Structure 1
């Protein structure tokens, strides 16, 4: 049986957590209540019209405004605003539990991994729509052919050292950002691992994979990432890591 307990017996770890946000007023109170104690929540408002930014601010989060639309734009704005040694990413729709992230960071701090991804495990039949699951499966197979990584999911919940991520020089500002992070990390020789996390039905309507069209756009963006050649930056990071 999978243990989803957020308890960290090795002691506290600290990180900044990036929460990309577009009209998530309904989910924000529950999500921010689950942010680990002592962590800074960076809610990146990507053009919300439902008062999300004001709600986040009233609940103690740091609000970053990113007017350029796109999941990657929001994530990268949060990365640039982060200051902690470790940075985590998590959806802001209530489908994932930020309280689990200390375990991710501990694995990096203990030298077990460099980039830890959450493998989504749906808790109910409707948590992960069939079209979104199919798109994720196809991309996982393409990623395996491109990098050799045997990952099952390219989900948005993850943790990494901030400096290591900045060194990868990510350029995608759309749906391909999470995949580009994994591809360039692999090209740079960073250790990429995954761990099971419960996946709950999201609060509200999905902006990316809630429809077939949204899934198609996401897969299109990610396929473009997989066609990119290894970058000089990634080669440099790998050389530095092996010294």
Structure 2
């Protein structure tokens, strides 16, 4: 039986489908397994990194050097697809990882803005949310770290040249922004999840087609790779418990 964590891995992997020779920068256990699964299967040209100075193959073995200057060239030239986390995410894809509450006097301090503006304005950026709730999917983020479609459009052509949010994956389903006004759309629900459950756990109305499909089933080979090659220790279940 396929677990919710494995459907999440599969959905993250599909974010890099057909990406070509771009640098995948997954943040989190499930996105990392997903990127390696994509490299193993349908995106063999994907570049993977150890997060420091090396390019690695699909099994984590070094296969090249990635100096910082070259990393920046990939980032600022639209040649990287990063999958980040989000403490808050709104209907236009604005992301917050800095603080909860008023920036001048926050109720909770988080990571800080970090590289989120550079990521979102210079290369495709997707998001992974392991616990889908109204605390994360909010009407309006308390602070914009990752730039959404509305703020990118307001900033003009210099901000929209490489700006793109291909996917949002959560433990409940898959989302994109392929709507006329670039508001979040429900693409699929993971098996065992209903559309109503997803909407109830979201703090704004989702665009929904008349028929929302289930997230696709993995092939036998994909399941074998996840369970025996990429994550034999079952670390995926720590992010999305069975």
Q: Given the two structures, how large is their TM-score scaled by the length of structure 2? A: 0.29
Query: Which structure shows the bigger proportion of residues in helix conformation?
Result: 1
Q: Given the two structures, how large is their TM-score scaled by the length of structure 1? A: 0.29
